[in-house]
Amino acid sequence: MASPQITRDDCLQMDASDPLAAFRQRFQTPKADTIFLDANSMGAMPATVPAHMQSFFDEAWVELRRQGWNHFEWMERPFQIGAAISHLIGAEPDDVIACDNTTVNLYKLLTYAWRVRLNGRVILTEDTNFPTDLYVAQGLPGALDGDPVITVCESRQQLIDSISPDTAVIYLSHVDYRSGERWDMADINRRAHEAGALTVWDLSHSAGAIPVDLMTSQADFAVGCGYKYLSGGPGGAAYCWVHPDHGDKAWPTICGWMGHGDVFAFATEYTPHKGTWRHATGTPAVIANEVFSCAADIWREVDASTLWSKHRALGNLMINLLEQECSDLGVSVNTPKEYDLRGGHIGFSHEGAGPLCEALLAAGVVGSFRKPDALRFGLGALYLSYTDIWTTVERLKEILQSESWRDPKFQKVSV
Amino acid sequence: MASPQITRDDCLQMDASDPLAAFRQRFQTPKADTIFLDANSMGAMPATVPAHMQSFFDEAWVELRRQGWNHFEWMERPFQIGAAISHLIGAEPDDVIACDNTTVNLYKLLTYAWRVRLNGRVILTEDTNFPTDLYVAQGLPGALDGDPVITVCESRQQLIDSISPDTAVIYLSHVDYRSGERWDMADINRRAHEAGALTVWDLSHSAGAIPVDLMTSQADFAVGCGYKYLSGGPGGAAYCWVHPDHGDKAWPTICGWMGHGDVFAFATEYTPHKGTWRHATGTPAVIANEVFSCAADIWREVDASTLWSKHRALGNLMINLLEQECSDLGVSVNTPKEYDLRGGHIGFSHEGAGPLCEALLAAGVVGSFRKPDALRFGLGALYLSYTDIWTTVERLKEILQSESWRDPKFQKVSV
């Protein structure tokens, strides 16, 4: 017997009992009736940002300038933001810092993991890892002491089969940025440790959407992007986390004044700060961090389990509605349907995915296209309603039924 | 015969014939009658910043979100800003990029210089180099391939005497952040090259104030801070420069997607971009760069020689007035008086420098104190007038004559 049809009323009812519904108004809504499904690329703007930054410019920069270092929290922001998002990744507040961009943090922690490795010479990764993650690893042979070898596997099974005592580090994206597939983090951590290897995880496409529990799953190192699900602002700081067992094992890769044990001593000799904080490099990105702090204020109030539950329900609804409304219109969900196997976005394949993405944009739905035939919807659970998902699928259905996506004006496709 | 006394009218006359006078109104002035002499720490805010950022938040973040990557100049900003400041450091526009912070850039270029070295194993520096610069170097032994050795000299003469065929890299701040002493960059570059060594310069306390000519002086690598004399905004991007001869010699230290030869190809294999741009690491700091772009708009219009001439004249006036008005009140100029030997700030020593700095602050003059007895005035030539220098010294003189700096309320000193 087929499942009962989902109706718009069902979605309205789910919205009425949504424990996170009040968070929607904490974010600025656009003027037009637009539904943003791009949290995997750029999170929504906290509503407090413009006023907060206006006063920052007037009071901090114009009136105080260099005295801002003494009067404001400029130096503490990297640690405050790290603490504010720590519960979303199952970390202790003091073990997370927001700093630099994702690429720089990947470099810092991958080289640190290499330095404190227990055995082996191989850094193991897979070819569906995000490109910049791969590039960081490819740059290490010939540069670092100890001759690291990078092995890029072509499938998840090949990677699992390749783990051996010669594996120094396993270096993976928790969720694939295209397919949306999720690694079983606890399983890989266990396999790694059995072989004497350490793990470095990129959480960019999972943190703030699905459950991440770094401590319980016994991960070693993690890095993530601040401006996707976490709404830290375009190009905002990324973050890094080091398991407390490894925190004090070696100097950081980039020894800078913000990671010094006594920042304002201006000592000639470097002494690392304890734990993760030693990886803070140089002057914090004060302006960018002020923006991110508006999102941090929100995240402090969000219960992680409630967030994950809503994200799961939004994803299930999206999958079910795509199948109910559009499966006979050439739409085939291509991210894992099983919850434990998927990440922050739901995607489907369609022969006209590129033009479809443009036609959806014209209809007020923002998704993202990936060559050759995939369309992704990144779900920001703090500001999306269940009715938004309904409306999205209705708009998609209309475009497919009318074949309006074949219009020449939609054939020039943005990436 | 003594030089004629400088009067306030002389300063007014200099202001009347100042070719850069119009730039003063391009920066936001504080509400109170405050003179900021902290350009060595934090440059003034371009007046366009608040409106530009307000529209950025509304239009780019709220309305477009991820589409901003396609609709705006987010990806080009690092290169645009680099080009806009290139004439201030004697570089070609395409050889400078704004990215990351100073510490990360120092790390990137020092390790790159190490990798493309011609001979030797020693990285030579001096103990008055800025602390974070020293820390970056101290973190390299044991981490990089090839066993670098860091030698920290205790004087400039010792450094010059230490240059030998075993020197791989000479790694210096162009201007000392405390004493204000300037290295003869061309001389050191020549000595380095004669020994087969390469040079890495930190321009944080010189660029935007005094002449820097990287190409003519035949420097190899340079890095600098964006938020001091360059007014890029608190914690804004730093910049890096690579001489075109070295641009394509090796992969960058941190291989990231922004330094890839074809950024949006999302290729699995890393291929470096040509020249300096390969050092761009990951996602640019979009928000911070939008702020910096307001300063870049100003710098594009500034003739470097005119800027340097005014900075020189402001510095000469400051020195002459300090001596004329305050030398019998315990003030002794401690930065080099000879122009070719000094940098962006003028400093003096006084037994009560700390409390004096606080008393000046209360009188509307912002300088900075460095232990044990130094007070520094960083001169931002685009927005300071000659009369500002007069007023500063008058206020200082009054504080010294009245001994108001001995008031208990000024004894708690900020750094």
Q: Measured between CA atoms, how close is A38 to chain B, in angstroms?
A: 7
Which of A202, A239, A292, A377 is labelled catalytic? A202
Nearest partner of B185 among B206, B164, B165, judged by Cα:
B206
- Amino acid B154: pLDDT: 96
Two tokens at B319?
């020195």
- Amino acid A342: pLDDT: 97
Mean pLDDT of A168-188: 97
- Amino acid B231: pLDDT: 98
Mean pLDDT of A97-112: 98
* Cα–Cα distance, A118 to A46 (Å, whole number): 43
Q: Measured between CA atoms, how close is A3 to chain B, in angstroms?
A: 36
- Amino acid A72: pLDDT: 81
- Amino acid B72: pLDDT: 81
Contact B57 A62 (CB under 8 A): no
Q: Determine which helix (DSSP H) or strand (DSSP E) holds B366, and give its type and residue range.
A: strand B365-366
* Cα–Cα distance, A229 to A161 (Å, whole number): 32
- Amino acid B190: pLDDT: 98
Two tokens at A360?
């959806």
Nearest partner of B344 among B88, B85, B38, B40, judged by Cα:
B40
pLDDT at residue A71 above 80?
no
* Cα–Cα distance, A401 to A263 (Å, whole number): 62
pTM: 0.97
Q: Measured between CA atoms, how close is A4 to chain B, in angstroms?
A: 36
Mean pLDDT (chain B, rounded)? 96
Q: B46 at the A interface (CB within 8 A)?
A: no
Nearest by CB: B31 against A42, A63, A414: A63
Among B33, B48, B62, the residue to mutate for chain A (most A Cβ within 10 A): B62
Residue pairs between chains A and B whose CB atoms are closer than 8 Å: 264
* Cα–Cα distance, B220 to B362 (Å, whole number): 44
Instruction: State ipTM.
Output: 0.96
Mean pLDDT of B155-172: 98
Two tokens at A185?
């983090």
Q: Measured between CA atoms, how close is A6 to chain B, in angstroms?
A: 30
pLDDT tens per residue, range B40-59: 999 999 999 999 999 999 99
Nearest partner of A381 among A323, A298, A325, A322, judged by Cα:
A298
pLDDT tens per residue, range B107-154: 999 999 999 999 999 999 999 999 999 999 999 999 999 999 999 999
Mean pLDDT of B199-220: 98
pLDDT at residue A264 above 90?
no
Mean pLDDT of B268-291: 96
pLDDT at residue A61 above 90?
yes
- Amino acid A2: pLDDT: 59
pLDDT at residue A311 above 60?
yes
Nearest by CB: B282 against A103, A256, A368: A103
Mean pLDDT (chain A, rounded)? 96
pLDDT over 90, % of chain B: 93
The pairing of strands A198-202 and A221-224 is: parallel
Q: Where are the beta strands (DSSP E) in B134-202?
A: 149-153, 167-173, 198-202
Residue B2 pLDDT level (bands cut at 50, 70, 90): low
Residue of chain A minimizing CA distance to B36: A65
pLDDT tens per residue, range A137-160: 999 999 999 999 999 999 999 999
Two tokens at A408?
């020449």
Q: Where are the beta strands (DSSP E) in A38-174?
A: 96-99, 122-126, 149-153, 167-173
* Cα–Cα distance, B380 to B97 (Å, whole number): 22
The pairing of strands B96-99 and A368-370 is: unpaired
* Cα–Cα distance, A338 to A331 (Å, whole number): 18
Two tokens at A204?
């960019």
- Amino acid A287: pLDDT: 97
Residue of chain A minimizing CA distance to B72: A234
Q: A104 at the B interface (CB within 8 A)?
A: yes
Mark whether A228 is an active-site residue: yes
Mark whether A130 is an active-site residue: yes
Two tokens at A258?
């913000």
Contact A147 B152 (CB under 8 A): no
- Amino acid A327: pLDDT: 95
pLDDT at residue A1 above 70?
no
Contact B270 A139 (CB under 8 A): yes
Please check whether residue B352 is in contact with residue B374, taking contact to mean a CB–CB distance below 8 angstroms: no
Nearest partner of B222 among B153, B147, B289, B170, judged by Cα:
B170
Domains assigned to chain B: 8-47+303-410 (3.90.1150.10), 73-299 (3.40.640.10)
pLDDT at residue B179 above 60?
yes
Nearest by CB: B235 against A143, A152, A284: A284
- Amino acid A69: pLDDT: 86
pLDDT over 70, % of chain A: 99
- Amino acid B69: pLDDT: 86
